[in-house]
Chain A
Amino acid sequence: MITYSHAPQETISPSSVKIIGLGGAGSNMLECIALDGMEGTELLALSSDARTLGACLAKEKIQLGVNLTRGLGAGGDPELGRQAVLEAEAQIRAAVQGHRIVFLCAGLGGGSGSGAAPIVTRIAREEGAFVVVFVTMPFAFEGKRRRDQAETALNELAVLSNALVTFDNNRMGELVLAKQGIHEAFTAANQMISESIKAVIRLVVRPGLINVGLDDLVSALRTNRSRCLFGSGIADGKDRATKALRNALASPLLDQGALLKEAQTVLVHLCGGENLTLFEIELLMQNLQKYVPESAHVLFGAAVDPAMGDSLSLTLVSALPEDALTNPRETPGQTAATVEPSPTLSPIPASESPAAAPEVKAMEIPPIPTAVEPETPSLFEAVDPLPSAPEETIIDESLFSEEETPAPAIGEFTALATVEISEPEIEVEPAAEVEELPVLRLEPAEATPQPLPWAPPSSYETSADVTSTQKPEPEAPKLKLGIKTSSPQSELSLDSSPRGRFEGEKPNVFEGEDLDLPPFLRKKK
């Protein structure tokens, strides 16, 4: 019997996820999540205001600044918030320890949120967790001071966290009518955030047929100081694929899908029940193509969860650099810049472990193709300039080496996608192709901007099967030529109006009028 070292677990169990709600806003968000229920995840509420803590539904609560603020809030002062959290640092550290992923929810602009959030993030990072921070920016009417405080905190968080998801409260106004109660407005906003958190958790916790992991999430949210575009939709019944897409695009954060036009990377995650069909995925992706620019990199993931039953849930995550919302900018250059340093930074261990993994992988779960970006481990390093980088890399590796998969899997996947979506005349390669041992092509030296996901992956060296998908490129022009040559006209019809069904028949003249033409058109003349 062949013994092989078992790679550490490839999925992240729900119990290793911790959701922290910080401050008043954070606790509200937490409540929403708690009410909706998220199996296995642990909820922790942090606040300096004892009243908020008392009202919160979270299982774990830590009061910040027991001595400093004595149960009162931070009063909108970030400095106070910062000091308060430092007081409870040890407790927080203990709470976070051992958890692989930490979600931090906070509302920036106030005291606890702006002051404490960067600290908590730092603590969590130090404990080795992958931190995703969800923050809301204050309303415009809250004033400049709060805005500035929020911005400062945002800058710090952008640096400290692994992934930062920002919600602008002003956009929340689109969720509900301005006439409706403020309670409803905020509830709607909280629900939206909790939905997105759950979607991200689902993304990460559930292994899919086509996996997207946190690394994909990071690449989707790559640009710093970015505004997150998030949409999620659930639908069931017939044509649920279209409905789910519509619901997802209806999210105000996506502005009916218009904002997606500027996105560079989009993460799409589909989760369905047992009866999820390839056809629905195709349909959905085809429809999505209309909203996403051609040059965008689409990270696609699909998961089958029997608990979903008949419904289909779709999650769209993307990010736009802040100034993109106001003026068109040079993100291609930016993304290229972020990618370039990666080859230099990739340490040897990172490239070694994936080398070990594929062989292992191929024997373990051959038929599952996965789509994971190969350059993400190096990306991690690129994004994180903290001096604690060396230890980070080790942590990241162990965290994510198991999630790397052989490259041809991608090739196969994109070949599949290519085949179905853009070149219908090529047959789909069977997924079983993955079984063959891939030519290892860890290419962090992918300095060029992301290739078209639907184009044949020219950089991937794989078996000849994949190259067959490259055939359409030279063939396509020929095909087009063939279509352009039209059949010669057999008859010159003096009356050039189209006759639809009665094309080719002699005019049905009846008392001076050609009855085959619609009166609707005839009368117009």
Chain B
Amino acid sequence: MARRTKIHVGLEIGTSKTCIVVGEVKADSAVKILGIGETKSAGVRKGEIYDYSQTRACLKDALAKAEDASDVEIGSVFLSVTGAHILGVNNRGTFRLPDGEPVVTPEHVEDARTIARDIHIPQDHVYLHPIIRNYWLDGLEHSTSPIGLFGKTVEADFHIVHGIGTRLQNSIKLVREMPLEVDDIVFAPIATAQMALNHEQRENGALVIDIGAGTTDYALYLGGVIAACGCIPVGGDHITNDIHLVTGLAFSKAEQLKILEGDASADALRSVGTAKLTDERGYAEVEVDRSVLNEIIRQRLEETLKLIRQRLPTGAVEAIGAGVFLTGGTSLMRGFSELAFDVFGRDIYRPELPEISGIQASFKDPRYATSIGLIRYAQILETERAAPPGVIGRIGRMFWPFGR
């Protein structure tokens, strides 16, 4: 197994930005970022492409920048997708071993998995990730494959992520036209989780929430495996729109206000007075009552977090041991940790803003979490593929029947 450095490229077409990250996986499994190419997105709304040509132009631009920055000719990418249509469900498939075969063979496992994957998904949906979570052998949970063990019933617990096929295909088509090959498509929060959570945190139970401009993606890990994931089509743009609708300010001013003066905590001290925006040219200032502004922001974010909480399986939030990890551009909102604490009641971890600039800093920048996570995902995938078949390591639980 020759372990040479491999270069992976992660591509995220988001609502606010299109971002390509070129990373190098070293022999010791460390990831080094070679370059990032980023453009402001046009033609993407709530995580989904609605204007094909505009998005293509943005993608071309980002690609050129990334190639320029990293000095690498990019041939294939890992694509992250998101959208409200993508759903994640857990399903367990049971396979009873036929008589006379006491030992579990790979075929049995395979059968169990087939059954598990065979859940009723809507007509136009396709599988994105059928992720194996656990195996159960006669009621006992096994984390690794029970091949070679005695048992009567094999159960495979899967987490199936599926979404509307045509939309996914459009995204792939877009990338292919660049021309670029698509190594894999990944549901965004799963990629983010690769970056945001480490092994121990996943073990203890952690929830990753990535709030971007158009969507809020979340992924819940319990006991080391993924328990839930999904996407809520509300993002930072909604907050700006809310401010715009309630106060009547122009969109750009609302955006500035949100970034500069917004506060999502319910702290009464911070909601005193008015928030002002002055223009350099001496144009009319924009003035908004701070309490109104903060209330708008807080209600929107609170609703979003509550929706996530509803979507999680019952008892899941209590099972979160490590905490809630917030990432994404909108998570930079002031007072957001207080609000998240109010909703979830768990330890909240926010990405700290990088003090240093440069490539190193982007590692921790919450806005690039997804794209960088893709690199790591790619690395894991590579590790898994490189491993000899039959040995499915704990890390390599990701399966992808791509194109099915």
Contacts and interface: CB of A to CB of B under 8 A. Distances in A.
Interface of A: 238-242, 280, 283, 497-502, 505, 508, 510-511, 515-521, 523
Contact of A499 (B233, B245, B251): B245
Given A239-B281, A510-B307, A520 B241 contact: no
Contacts of A508: 46, 84, 233
The residue in A280, A516, A520, A523 that gathers the most chain B C-beta atoms within 10 A of its C-beta is: A520
Contacts of B251: 500-501
A511 B300 CA distance: 15
Given A239-B282, A242-B282, A283-B282, A519 B242 contact: yes
B244 interface: yes
Contacts of A511: 307, 310
Interface of B: 45-46, 84, 232-234, 237-238, 240-242, 244-246, 251, 278-282, 295-296, 299-300, 302-303, 307, 310
Pick the 3 closest A-B CB pairs, nearest first. Answer: A239-B282, A518-B242, A519-B299
B299 A523 contact: yes
Contact of A518 (B46, B296, B310): B296
A239 B234 CA distance: 38
Contacts, number: 68
Contacts of A521: 245-246
24 contacts: A238-B280, A238-B282, A239-B278, A239-B281, A240-B282, A498-B245, A501-B240, A501-B251, A502-B45, A502-B241, A508-B84, A508-B233, A510-B84, A515-B233, A515-B238, A515-B303, A516-B238, A518-B238, A518-B245, A518-B299, A519-B300, A519-B302, A520-B246, A521-B246
Given A242-B282, A508-B233, A510-B84, A520 B295 contact: yes
Contacts of B242: 518-520
Nearest to B232: A510
Nearest to B310: A511
The residue in A280, A515, A518 that gathers the most chain B C-beta atoms within 10 A of its C-beta is: A518
Nearest to A508: B233
Nearest to B278: A239
Contacts of A502: 45, 241
B233 A501 contact: no
Given A518-B238, A518-B246, 16 more contacts: A238-B280, A239-B280, A241-B282, A497-B245, A498-B245, A499-B245, A500-B245, A500-B251, A501-B240, A501-B241, A505-B45, A510-B233, A515-B233, A515-B303, A519-B299, A521-B246
Nearest to B251: A501
B292 to A, nearest CB: 8
A501 B282 contact: no
B280 A518 contact: no
A515 B47 CA distance: 15
Given A510-B232, A515-B234, A518-B296, A500 B241 contact: yes
B288 to A, nearest CB: 13
A500 B282 contact: no
B238 A520 contact: no
A501 B241 CA distance: 6
A519 B300 CA distance: 6
Nearest to A283: B282
A511 B233 CA distance: 12
Given A238-B282, A501-B244, A519 B303 contact: yes
Contacts of B303: 515, 519
Contact of B296 (A280, A516, A520): A520
Nearest to B243: A518
A280 B241 CA distance: 33
Nearest to A240: B282
The residue in A501, A505, A510, A511 that gathers the most chain B C-beta atoms within 10 A of its C-beta is: A501
B135 to A, nearest CB: 33
Given A238-B282, A510-B84, A516 B310 contact: no
Contacts of B310: 511
A442 B300 CA distance: 68
Contacts of A517: 245
Contacts of A241: 282
Given A500-B245, A501-B240, A518 B300 contact: yes
A500 B299 CA distance: 18
A278 to B, nearest CB: 14
A374 B234 CA distance: 66
A238 B283 CA distance: 11
Contacts of B246: 518, 520-521
A518 B241 contact: yes
B299 A520 contact: yes
A5 B307 CA distance: 89
Contacts of A516: 238, 241
Given A510-B84, A518-B246, A501 B299 contact: no
Contacts of A497: 245
A410 to B, nearest CB: 28
